[in-house]
């Protein structure tokens, strides 16, 4: 990847990705690039397209498992301030896709704007939340999106309007190479009432998810009309372990990584869960997390 020399000051070669993900597992990226301006970002994207260099975008790493061998090509992170602004105007919150979802929720709440507060406690960035339509059965980020600014593989900026966007549980049709920023249209409400709803949602979320363990988001999508967590529990797989990876007992659709775990342990546990659920219910579980 000699052509990347032009980006040397924003590139880390052979950079371990584990610290950038919630699982804290997996090997290095051939190049981790953290642009500081849109022009730099566009030049990197264009270069990768022209030279056929594989390109991945990493947000907060809450929904990604990196394989132990790491990955070829470029991993981009929108970690600079140019990609993380959060601004409020009337009932709209406009946020860079590198901003944390938490920052957007707290800014909206401060301005008495309601809608996103029950997403509190979901780790990660605005970009990752949009791509994965972060949320739960009661509320998803997609419901509040007015527009999304994106970058195509040639580094050109475009805008997707509400009418073009499709959101499903755990996914969206936002498959453009880079999501840059988004506008959320929210409702006015009393800040104290918003905070009360936020506290309640926080308590509920924390009661149903792994606490103080290394983990990622939900491993599998819910099959139509069923809950992946319930199927895994009914297959008696809660607390099943492969190496340092264990099915979480609070919510069986999470896997926690104990000290010494490898990405391979997690992948073997995923296959074990899949095959047992297939045997018992004749249902194939589809992955929700991204495996790189």
Structure tokens at 45: 């994207």
- Whichever of 7 and 22 has its CB closer to ligand FAD, that residue is 22
Under the binding rule (CB under 6 A), the answer on residue 134 touching ligand FAD is yes
- Whichever of 17 and 277 has its CB closer to ligand FAD, that residue is 17
Binding mask 24-63 for ligand FAD (x = CB under 6 A): --------------------------------xxxxxxxx
The nearest distance, CB 276 to ligand FAD, in angstroms, is: 23
Task: Figure out which of the listed residues 124, 142, 155, 183 binds ligand FAD, where binding follows CB under 6 A.
Answer: 124
φ, ψ for residue 132 (rounded to 5)? -95, 5
Under the binding rule (CB under 6 A), the answer on residue 77 touching ligand FAD is no
Binding mask 166-205 for ligand FAD (x = CB under 6 A): ------------xx-------------------------x
N-to-C CA span, the chain: 19
Under the binding rule (CB under 6 A), the answer on residue 96 touching ligand FAD is no
The nearest distance, CB 188 to ligand FAD, in angstroms, is: 25
> Which range touches ligand FAD (CB under 6 A), out of 107-115, 121-129, 160-168, 255-263?
121-129
What is the C-alpha to C-alpha distance for residues 149 and 244, in angstroms, rounded to an integer? Answer: 40
Binding mask 227-246 for ligand FAD (x = CB under 6 A): --------------------
Under the binding rule (CB under 6 A), the answer on residue 78 touching ligand FAD is yes
Under the binding rule (CB under 6 A), the answer on residue 157 touching ligand FAD is no
Under the binding rule (CB under 6 A), the answer on residue 217 touching ligand FAD is yes
The nearest distance, CB 218 to ligand FAD, in angstroms, is: 6
Residue nearest to ligand FAD (CB): 128
Under the binding rule (CB under 6 A), the answer on residue 127 touching ligand FAD is yes
- Whichever of 96 and 190 has its CB closer to ligand FAD, that residue is 96
What is the C-alpha to C-alpha distance for residues 152 and 37, in angstroms, rounded to an integer? Answer: 16
Residue 233 to residues 42, 156, 161, 215, 254, Cα–Cα distance (Å): 46, 46, 40, 18, 11
- Render the burial of 1-35: b for 16+ CB within 10 Å, e for the rest: beebeebeebbeeebebbebbbbbbbbbbbbbbbb
Under the binding rule (CB under 6 A), the answer on residue 123 touching ligand FAD is yes
Task: Figure out which of the listed residues 26, 35, 135, 155 binds ligand FAD, where binding follows CB under 6 A.
Answer: 135
Task: Figure out which of the listed residues 132, 182, 219, 277 binds ligand FAD, where binding follows CB under 6 A.
Answer: 132
Query: Pairing state of beta strands 71-77 and 55-58?
Result: parallel
Query: Which residues are at the interface with ligand FAD (CB under 6 A)?
Result: 22, 56-64, 78, 97, 122-125, 127-129, 131-132, 134-136, 178-179, 205, 209-210, 215-217, 290
């Amino acid at each position: 990847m000699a052509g990347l020399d032009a980006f040397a000051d924003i590139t880390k070669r052979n950079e371990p990705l584990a610290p950038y993900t919630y699982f804290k597992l997996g090997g290095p990226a051939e190049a981790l690039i953290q642009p500081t301006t849109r022009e730099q970002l566009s030049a990197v994207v264009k270069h990768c397209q022209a030279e056929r260099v594989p390109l991945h975008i990493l947000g907060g790493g809450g929904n990604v498992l990196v394989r132990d061998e790491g990955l070829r090509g470029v991993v981009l992170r929108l970690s600079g301030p140019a990609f993380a602004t959060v601004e409020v105007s009337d009932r709209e919150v406009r946020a860079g896709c590198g901003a944390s979802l938490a920052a957007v929720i707290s800014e909206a709440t401060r301005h008495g704007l309601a809608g996103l507060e029950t997403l509190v406690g979901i780790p990660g960035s605005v970009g990752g939340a949009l791509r994965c339509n972060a949320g739960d059965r009661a509320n998803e980020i997609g419901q509040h999106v007015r527009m999304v600014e994106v970058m195509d593989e040639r580094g050109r900026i475009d805008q997707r309007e509400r009418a073009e966007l499709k959101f499903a549980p755990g996914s969206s049709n936002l498959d453009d190479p880079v999501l840059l920023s988004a506008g959320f249209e929210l409702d006015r409400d009393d800040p104290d009432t918003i905070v009360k709803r936020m506290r309640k949602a926080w308590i509920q979320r924390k009661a149903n998810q792994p606490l103080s363990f290394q983990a990622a988001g939900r491993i599998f999508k819910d099959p139509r009309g069923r809950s992946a967590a319930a199927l895994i529990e009914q297959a008696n797989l809660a607390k099943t372990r492969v190496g340092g990876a264990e099915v979480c007992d609070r919510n069986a659709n999470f896997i926690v990584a104990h000290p010494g775990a490898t990405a391979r342990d997690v992948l073997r546990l995923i296959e074990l869960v899949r095959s047992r659920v297939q045997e018992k219910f004749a249902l194939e579980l589809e992955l929700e997390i991204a495996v790189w």
